[in-house]
Amino acid sequence: MSGSPHVATVVGARPQFIKLAMLTRRLAALTPVPFRHTLIHTGQHYDADMSEVFFRELELPRPRYELGVGSDRAAQQIAAIMSRLEPLLTADRPDALLVLGDTHSTLAAALVAAHLEIPLVHIEAGERIYRRRRVPEESNRVVADHLATLCLTASRPATWFLEREGIAGRRVRFAGDLHYDLFRWAVRRPELRRVTSAALGLAPGGFILATLHRPENTDAPERLAGLLRQLDEAPLPVVLPMHPRLRGRLADQAFTPKRALRLIDPVGYFDLLGLLLDCRRVVSDSGGVIREAYFARRPCVVPMADNWWRQIAWSGWSIEVGDDEAKLRDALADFDPPATYPEGLFGDGNAAATIIDATAELIGSGAEPIWTPRGRPTSAPRAGAPGERTDFTWAGYRRLIEGLRAEGYDLAPFPEAAARLSAARPFALLRHDVDMDLEAAVELARLEHGWGVQSTYFIMVRNPFYSPFSAEGSRAVRQILGCGHHLGLHLDAAAYPADHPLHDACAAEAEMLEAWFGRPVEIVSFHRPDARVLGGDPSLTAPRPHTYMALFRETIQYLSDSRGRWREGHPLRHEAFHRRRPLHLLVHPIWYGAEPTDPHETLERFLDRHAARSRQALEANCRP
């Protein structure tokens, strides 16, 4: 690598040349340049009017390499791009590789970058229609997103979709749409238009602009024939610049337009823009054209069941007619725009600047990205030695109980502790703070019941994860109590203002639980205990005892599995156990399950289940 950082961009198809325009223009205007930039053209589109014209009129830099793959079946084309790109990138080793959109060139380059460990930036990431049949672009984009070190989105929904797919927030940044940058720049340059509507004999405001190229519309002869028939019978003249795929399919069909439809060769970007600004409405299955119609404030009929730019449909500026010919016919006749226009769906026209900044930052950081969906594994509590993981399974917990029993320990409820101190038999108090996962508490309560164990479950009243008063929460707490377990209160002092008397908070919460479940709250434990609590003052919770009183923390040996590990070693290996001293064991049900896991994974699974439950609740309450 020479001194300055080096970024390469792989392009191959028309929409990518168009996206590139403002990126390279902006880069050229910067001094000092944030990085050296080279361009690689795969040759996926190679016709003069699909490639050359854009390099010329958008003044794109000449590609440093042309891979010349040409058209082919998908797998052949992807394989050809990969095998030609790999040696170039191996020799050149850019500091980052940029790919754009959703073409086979995007996918192939993303795979090569991943295997050569070159940080990958995916521009226009995250767009989804959640359909893959006959939509290869969707698959290409999904793979590129998941391989990318950095996903730069063109719309807000794309950012949401990536988050929903588990891509860490730090790998995603909203940049806005390069098509919008270019639109804003190009709209002010009418002198660059050549093929005007006037030259085509079309009256401004009196014609429809159409483009068609998705395989789902072009590849089935009947579907294509139906579409063309409708366009030909439209009430206004329709001009359709032909994508090579459409031209290819038409060569196999004996179709000649007779009425409204005019098939023309593909036009350059500025000409397309001119037609767009002059037309009455648009019919298109092109991702670029659908957005450009919105930028130009022209209503757009989309002959697809769903398209990537649904926010335009949400706002009423596009309509998806699927493969319904009657709907298409109606929309061709009367789909007009709504009265209001939502600004800014694709950013503010500064996508290029954001993309350049984000890329420069990425190169500067040089760090391995965070691939986990939420946070960093090491930011989570760490389990003890690997060999100790099996302690945090139900079987491990059972071994603990059996170990206590084998040593002659009684399992006692908290109110009996003081009286038992003078007895000869050792005893253990089993405490379960239920601070997040009530479901895990029910599981453990049932298991304990099966083993003839009674313990105390400390239930929270103010908790962001469950409510003992919700239908589901009450059922769960009743199941726990129905297994013969005791009721405790787990109080979050931090949920109250600092000057709120803790005693009042405790009394209020305990009384609520007692009234609701008809059982006494035998004892109180504290979540996130503060200095007031750690002092052990019994009056804090009087007349009920609390677990931070000297009796339960000093006289009796207190051992806790907080954060998923026995901080003072496993209870059966602790010297207090060997000396048969009384034990107060805090066991959090959330850490225990059928299989050994890392506590980080346990928390992640808890979050997944929590989210799934919220979703179910949402669906039960509201189904749009």
Which residue ranges make up the site for ligand UDP (CB under 6 A)?
A: 14-15, 18, 179, 211, 213, 241, 243, 266-269, 272, 286-289, 292
Contact present, 141 and 165 (Cβ < 8 Å): no
Give the integer Cα–Cα distance in Å for 467 and 487.
Answer: 15
**Smallest distance, ligand UDP to C-beta of residue 102, A:** 7
For 534-580, give the DSSP string: HTT-GGGTTTS-BTTSHIIIIITEEEE-GGGS-TT--GGGSHHHHTT
Name which of 149 and 286 has its Cβ closer to ligand UDP.
286
Name which of 288 and 426 has its Cβ closer to ligand UDP.
288
Contact present, 349 and 343 (Cβ < 8 Å): no
Name which of 94 and 241 has its Cβ closer to ligand UDP.
241
Name which of 111 and 267 has its Cβ closer to ligand UDP.
267
Name which of 265 and 511 has its Cβ closer to ligand UDP.
265
**Smallest distance, ligand UDP to C-beta of residue 59, A:** 15
Residue nearest ligand UDP, CB atom distance:
288
**Smallest distance, ligand UDP to C-beta of residue 272, A:** 4
For 520-534, give the DSSP string: ---EEEEES--HHHH
3-class SS of residue 34:
coil
Among 284, 233, 241, CA closest to 262:
241
Helices (H), 366-464: 394-406, 417-420, 438-450
- Report the Cα–Cα distance between both ends of the chain, in Å, rounded: 55
Give the integer Cα–Cα distance in Å for 229 and 63.
Answer: 41
**Smallest distance, ligand UDP to C-beta of residue 243, A:** 6
**Smallest distance, ligand UDP to C-beta of residue 136, A:** 11
Name which of 298 and 490 has its Cβ closer to ligand UDP.
298
Give the integer Cα–Cα distance in Å for 105 and 69.
Answer: 10
**Smallest distance, ligand UDP to C-beta of residue 362, A:** 25
Which residues, in sequence order, are CB contacts of 433 under 8 Å at separation 6+? 458, 490, 525, 527, 586, 588
Tokens 């698959």 belong to: 139
Which residues, in sequence order, are CB contacts of 204 under 8 Å at separation 6+? 197, 198, 278
**Smallest distance, ligand UDP to C-beta of residue 65, A:** 22
Name which of 290 and 477 has its Cβ closer to ligand UDP.
290
Name which of 248 and 364 has its Cβ closer to ligand UDP.
248
Name which of 15 and 426 has its Cβ closer to ligand UDP.
15
Burial category of 181 from C-beta neighbours within 10 Å (exposed 0-12, middle 13-18, buried 19 and up): buried
Contact present, 233 and 305 (Cβ < 8 Å): no
**Smallest distance, ligand UDP to C-beta of residue 244, A:** 9
**Smallest distance, ligand UDP to C-beta of residue 198, A:** 18
